[in-house]
Amino acid sequence: MKKFFLNLYNWIDERVKLEDLVNFMGKKYVPVHSRSIWYYFGGVTLFFFIIQVVTGILLLFYYKASADLAFESIQFIMSKVEFGWLVRSIHTWSANLFILAAFIHMFSVYFERSYRKPREITWITGMLMFFLGLGFGFSGYLLPWNELAFFATKVGSDILGAIPLIGEELKIFARGGEDVTGATLSRMFGFHVALFPAIFTVLLTIHLLLVQRQGMSQPMEMVEKEMSEEKKMPFFPNFLLRDLLFWLIVLNVLAILAVFFPSELGHKADPFAPAPEGIKPEWYFLFMFQALKYLPAHVLFIEGEILGILLFGAAGILWLLVPFWDKKTARGQKNKFITYLGIFSVMFIIVFTILGWLT
Amino acid sequence: MKKISISSVILFLLLISNSIQGQNDKCFICHESIGDNASVLFKKDIHFQKNISCSGCHGGNNQSDDMEVAMNPRNGYLGVPKGDQISERCIKCHSNSETMRKYGSKLPTNQIEQIKNSVHWQRSTKGTEHIVQCTTCHNAHGIVSVKNPASPVYSLNIPKTCSTCHNSAVFMHSYNPSLPVDQYQKYITSVHGKLILKGDSKAADCSDCHGAHDIRKATDVKSKVYPTNIPATCSVCHSNTAYMKSYKIPTDQFDKFSISVHGKALLEKNDLNAPACNSCHGNHGATPPGVESISKVCGTCHVLNAELFSGSPHKQAFDKKKYPECETCHKYHDIVTASNELLGVSKDAVCSKCHSEKENRKGYYIGMKMRSLIDSLDAEIKTANALVNDAEQKGMEISDAKFKLRDANQAKLETKTMVHSVDFEKFKEIVSGKGLKTTNSIKDEASAAIDNFYFRRYGLLVSVLIMSILAIALYFYIKSIERGKKKIK
């Protein structure tokens, strides 16, 4: 067997010069320090994305994107298709864990200031993938065409409509018309399985290439020092194997969640039925939804909801552009404002998510 | 002698007062002198007796004997009011409580409000006026109190008054071609109609059920004869013990009906398919169905039951003993949902009223076997239901089996129909062929779902175990690499 693999390696090596790649990877090191654990969340996010792609493709074999058939096709997947329930459950749970892992990865990069030069593009591509991830969540939520999804999409797209100037057009574009209908479902399906994955793949390729090319960012206090043998580990095989170990652990957690808390289907969406009580968006939108609820109807001359949306929009852009306005870090100085802003953001998200959950 | 003198005084005063009334009304004096029919009628009119002049409705100057002055439009003379002008003249006083009080009247003053909601207040075919005016029912001259037998709206006269229009196919065709025009003919065959014809003013006339001024379409939920309101409308009289005393009929019909399966469906669930009083008794021709026609009446809705019963051996036996068909087993106003307990030979079962081990034995054994079968189907449905619930509780997708539960319940319902045929073989075919076959299929599917649930749990256990072993092995492998004991080649 060993001989077979060796022959196979040699066969490929003769044609594509694998030696260069092996040499490159052999020289690649990952810094070892007290906060090394955060390095693994990028890989975990990638792992969940891979699971999403695989389970998503499996679901595509049976899913029918039409208002008449979507719900029934999911029902069929869950009851008739062998392990269909498991695939759908894993897809749902993995989607949530993907967003959670992306949140953790984003904040760990932020607090470590890993976005600083020369990794600005890595940060930007990562942030864009994060926004796309939220888009994946929003578009995928409607696909089962059940009651909750229908009304949550209605509320979500209504919020989109409140954006000044372009809101109404954006809402009609997202819905494929004035209201949430079968056209919205087709549109969301298109976003979810074609448009978003295509953009995501491009961004992910750039992101991973940059990570490989630039290596892992070292904490600021370690930059000045030369990495000793104890303070670094080879990327291949040590870090890769540790990554694999981490993936196995999260796969275990995912399996337990998918089996013990399988995703429910609820009732088929009825556009003429009254909205059920307590319609809430997915947990990762909850902090924004809840914060908008606390805003007064009017703040000075502007509507509370519009002000909230503008503030969240501005915060998102500032967050995206942090490598460019955080001059202190770029100069290698400590910037406490960044730390306080990060802590405030984390606290804000946690508190408002809990409030949204409880109310 | 003293009595005669008092009577003479009263008669004299009456004559005096009659001669005083209209004495100053030049309109009346003049029209009476030429023998005008309107003034002849008006002498009996309640308005005349209250000293209301002709000009009260026709306008003009009633103090002038000069026609040019008295009937001058400048003096407000209207002539003969036409169309809505008629009701407007009446409303002028009848909606004004102060005016009415001045004339010592205790009549309500909301008639116009009521009639505005009435079906009669629609525009007429002319489009310029409403269908009815006050005079349509109350007359124009010679209006008397509704308690006066001469009034067209006196209880005994109301059916005739209403039928003036409602019996005319040509007239009714203009407004509602689908509305029958035989209400009066039906009414006079009803118990109510017969009593009215005998002069019993206590009996229900049209206004007792439809209202007087606020008559709405029967399809209007506020109508007194809207299906869900009918029992309450009938019960106004039929639940009044004192009022019904002279008729010697029970007054508990409404109470019984309210707790019946029909009453609950109609009054609690607002199910308009459920029967109201008129569904069995008729509406205009209301009369209790006779013993021989009960099954026909029930059979209008319960078609299959009636058909199966008519072909069963029970039909002849009931006819022979003059038993009312449906009522014998199901009672009448207080009909409850037919439970399994009705069937069989236990103490509460209706079969045992006629069948016993000694008498009519065949029916006794059939009843016993049917009961046993239906009980077994019930038990199987319960078991299947419990399994489906269990599977659902476990989060399994079981909508197919859940849907089949409807088929099982449908089979149970069919047995309740088939029981009227007393044909054991057909009954058994439904229980076994449809019911039990379906429950078995449901139980299989639900059990498979529950087994699948445990398979998932065990599958998870195995996969978690494998992944954990892999993870541990990987951990030790990494450790060994890091200790430099092993090298990747």
DSSP code string of B180-218 = -S-HHHHHTTSHHHHHHHTT-TTS--HHHHH-SS----T
pTM (whole model) above 0.80:
no
Q: Which residue of B has its CA nearest to A75?
A: B397
pLDDT of residue B470: 94
Residue B485 pLDDT greater than 80, yes or no: no
Domain containing residue B393: 339-347+358-479
Range from A63-67, A333-337, B286-290, B431-435 carrying the lowest mean pLDDT: B286-290
Q: A145 or B35: whose pLDDT is higher?
A: A145
Per the domain annotation, does A60 fall within a domain? yes
pLDDT of residue B6: 53
Residue A23's pLDDT band (cuts 50, 70, 90):
confident
Per the domain annotation, does B308 fall within a domain? no
Identify which of B78, B23, B73, B70 has the alpha carbon closest to the alpha carbon of residue B48: B23
pLDDT of residue B11: 44
Q: Tell me how many domains chain B contains.
A: 1
Per the domain annotation, does B474 fall within a domain? yes
Q: Is B341 on the interface with A (CB under 8 A)?
A: no
Mean pLDDT, residues A125-154: 95
The values of phi and psi at residue A234, to 5°, are: -65, 140
CB contact under 8 A, A259 and B457: yes
Looking at the partner chain, which of A245, A255, A264 has a beta carbon nearest the beta carbon of B471? Answer: A245
CA distance B397 to chain A (A): 5
- In SS3 terms, B13-64 reads as HHHHHHHHCCCCCHHHHHHHHCCCHHHHHHCCCHHHHCCCCCHHHHCCCCCC
Mean pLDDT, residues B310-315: 91
Pairwise CA distance, residues B119 & B306, whole Å: 38
CA distance B390 to chain A (A): 16
Task: Residue A86: list chain B partners with CB under 8 A.
Answer: 456
Range from A26-35, A349-358, B273-282 carrying the lowest mean pLDDT: A26-35
Task: Residue A256: list chain B partners with CB under 8 A.
Answer: 460, 464
**What is the Cα gyration radius of chain A?**
23
Q: Is B398 on the interface with A (CB under 8 A)?
A: yes
pLDDT of residue B10: 47
pLDDT of residue B437: 96
The values of phi and psi at residue B398, to 5°, are: -135, 30
Identify which of B205, B213, B185 has the alpha carbon closest to the alpha carbon of residue B112: B213
Mean pLDDT of chain A: 91
CA distance A30 to chain B (A): 14
pLDDT of residue B489: 39
CA distance A114 to chain B (A): 27
Looking at the partner chain, which of B397, B471, B477 has a beta carbon nearest the beta carbon of A79? Answer: B397
Residue B277 pLDDT greater than 90, yes or no: yes
Residue A160 pLDDT greater than 90, yes or no: no
| Lookup: tokens for B457 | 């749990």
Identify which of B74, B73, B77 has the alpha carbon closest to the alpha carbon of residue B27: B77
Per the domain annotation, does B14 fall within a domain? no
Q: Could you give the percent of chain A with pLDDT greater than 70?
A: 98
Residue A186 pLDDT greater than 50, yes or no: yes
pLDDT of residue B15: 42
CB contact under 8 A, A241 and B478: yes
Q: Is B357 on the interface with A (CB under 8 A)?
A: no
* Residues near B67 by beta carbon (within 8 Å), at least 6 away in sequence: B30
Per the domain annotation, does A10 fall within a domain? no
Crossing angle between the packed helical segments A84-111 and A283-294, to the nearest 10 degrees = 60
Residue A228's pLDDT band (cuts 50, 70, 90):
low
pLDDT of residue A223: 66
pLDDT of residue A290: 93
pLDDT tens digits along A71-126? 999 989 988 898 998 999 999 999 999 999 999 999 999 999 999 989 999 999 99
Q: Tell me how many domains chain A contains.
A: 1
Mean pLDDT, residues A53-63: 97
pLDDT tens digits along B94-137? 999 999 999 988 899 999 999 999 999 988 888 889 999 999 99
Domain containing residue A261: 25-358
> CATH number for the domain including A140?
1.20.810.10
Per the domain annotation, does B29 fall within a domain? no
Per the domain annotation, does A2 fall within a domain? no
pLDDT of residue B487: 46
C-beta neighbour count of B61 within 10 angstroms? 19
Per the domain annotation, does A6 fall within a domain? no
Q: What is the DSSP string of A158-196?
A: HHHHTSTTTHHHHHHHHHTSSS-SHHHHHHHHHIIIIIH
CB contact under 8 A, B460 and A259: yes
Per the domain annotation, does B251 fall within a domain? no
pLDDT of residue A224: 60
Per the domain annotation, does B50 fall within a domain? no
CB contact under 8 A, B474 and A233: no
Per the domain annotation, does B54 fall within a domain? no
- What residues of chain B, 436 to 475, have a C-beta less than 8 Å from chain A? 456-457, 459-460, 463-464, 467-468, 470-471, 474-475
Residue B296's pLDDT band (cuts 50, 70, 90):
confident
